[in-house]
Amino acid sequence: MNHLCCWQVTGLYTPGRGEITSLDAGNIDDILNNAGVALVNFYADWCRFSQMLHPIFEEASNIVREEYPDATQVVFARVDCDQHSDIAQRYRISKYPTLKLFRNGMMMKREYRGQRSVTAIADFIRQQKVDPIKEIENLEEISTVDRSRRTIIGYFEKRDSANYRTYEKVANILRDDCVFLAAFGDVSKPERFSGDNIIYKPMGENAPDMVYMGSLTNFDLSYAWTQDKCVPLVREITFENGEELTEEGIPFLILFHQKDDTDSLEKFQQEVARQLISEKGSINFLHADCDKFRHPLLHIQKTPADCPVIAIDSFRHMYVFPEFSDLA
């Protein structure tokens, strides 16, 4: 959903205190790291759209606080980007207001794009508090898992354990990228030959399972492994997700190809994995349908007839890779 945002607008507003936590360089890490869910309003006082959002944001905070009184469960916070330009730069904020979701200090890639109303914002937080993990009551349910989606399954002796708490933390962060399942006690026992266990079921009926071999209580290792499985190295860019991908703030390396040209896509994926895996996180590796993205192709003097075409988009310029045949 498109929203009105400020780049250069004048106005005056002094935010009320409400239930909003003001963040600065001295407290931001401590507050966000200790919050299960935090919704942060990055605003500028001169922006009238920021001014319009303040009372709505405060009222939504008050409503949510009544439902989740534990201050560590949900935090509503704000950053004055004029006073704290270092924070705005750190999180690549370029328009106001911007609402970003954080989980345990980690900023989620997708910003809040719902309606800027009290009800919509409160409902959004309620959705974020829904448990992303579905409990398995019988191992036979595994045979009915939707193999068109990436799935992570955890087998635990008990729910109240450090192993499961780490799994739960990872699942909350990657809830939009994978399906998460869990089995406990006697139900999970046949899969716990040497203790608690986590597996990944890739897409495809015949794709073999992959087992997590690291420490189940080490969040960094567990998250890195799960993210690698749940978030494809090469993602498809569409008109629906293009703005979200742009807001991640890193350049694009895009393969433009015909939709039915899977050979070029497979070759591109292989070479990205072979040559550029170390750049994951600093470059977005993407593929796009030539016919749907005719306009970007025109910017580089190409048409769908020229596909497959590889280009770098730095958001200021596009640079074309000379020959696809030279990829390897």
In the chain, where are the structural domains located?
21-128, 133-230, 234-326
> CB-based burial of residue 151 (10 Å sphere; 0-12 exposed, 13-18 middle, 19+ buried)?
buried
CB atoms within 10 A of CB 57: 26
Question: What would the pLDDT profile of 9-30 be if each residue is shown by its tens digit?
Answer: 433 334 334 479 999 999 999 9
Angle between helices 162-173 and 219-230 (to 10 degrees): 40
Rg for the chain, CA atoms, rounded? 22
Q: How many CA atoms lie within 13 A of 59 on its CB side?
A: 10
Cα distance between the two ends of the chain:
40
Q: Which two tokens stand for residue 204?
A: 């495809």
At residue 281 the predicted structure's pLDDT band, cuts being 50, 70 and 90, is confident
pLDDT value for 94: 85
Q: In the chain, what percentage of residues exceed pLDDT 70?
A: 95
Question: What would the pLDDT profile of 245-275 be if each residue is shown by its tens digit?
Answer: 887 778 999 999 999 999 999 999 999 999 9
Mean pLDDT within 56-62: 96
Q: Which fold has domain 21-128?
A: Glutaredoxin (3.40.30)
- Check if the beta carbon of residue 247 is closer than 8 Å to that of residue 92: yes
At residue 3 the predicted structure's pLDDT band, cuts being 50, 70 and 90, is low
Mean pLDDT within 46-56: 96
Sign of torsion over alpha carbons 156, 158, 163, 167: positive
For residue 208, give the 3-state DSSP assignment: coil
Among the ranges given (3-7, 114-118, 153-157), the one the predictor scored with the smallest mean pLDDT = 3-7
Mean pLDDT within 141-152: 92
Q: Which of 291, 277, 284, 290 is nearest to 324 (CA)?
A: 290
User: What stretches of the chain show up as alpha helix (H) in DSSP?
Assistant: 28-33, 48-67, 85-90, 118-128, 162-173, 185-188, 219-230, 242-247, 262-275, 294-299
Q: Would 21-128 and 234-326 be classified into the same CATH topology?
A: yes
Question: Is the model's pLDDT at 1 over the cut of 50?
Answer: no
pLDDT value for 314: 87
Q: Which fold has domain 234-326?
A: Glutaredoxin (3.40.30)
Question: Is the model's pLDDT at 53 over the cut of 60?
Answer: yes
Question: Is the model's pLDDT at 323 over the cut of 70?
Answer: yes
User: What stretches of 137-182 show up as alpha helix (H) in DSSP?
Assistant: 162-173
Q: Which CATH code fits 133-230?
A: 3.40.30.10
Mean pLDDT within 157-169: 97
- Check if the beta carbon of residue 261 is closer than 8 Å to that of residue 279: no
pTM: 0.79
| Beta-ladder partners of 319 | 312
**Which long-range contacts link 267-274 to residues 24+ away (Cβ below 8 Å)?**
267/327, 267/328, 268/234, 268/308, 268/310, 268/327, 269/233, 269/234, 271/327, 271/328, 272/233, 272/234, 273/233
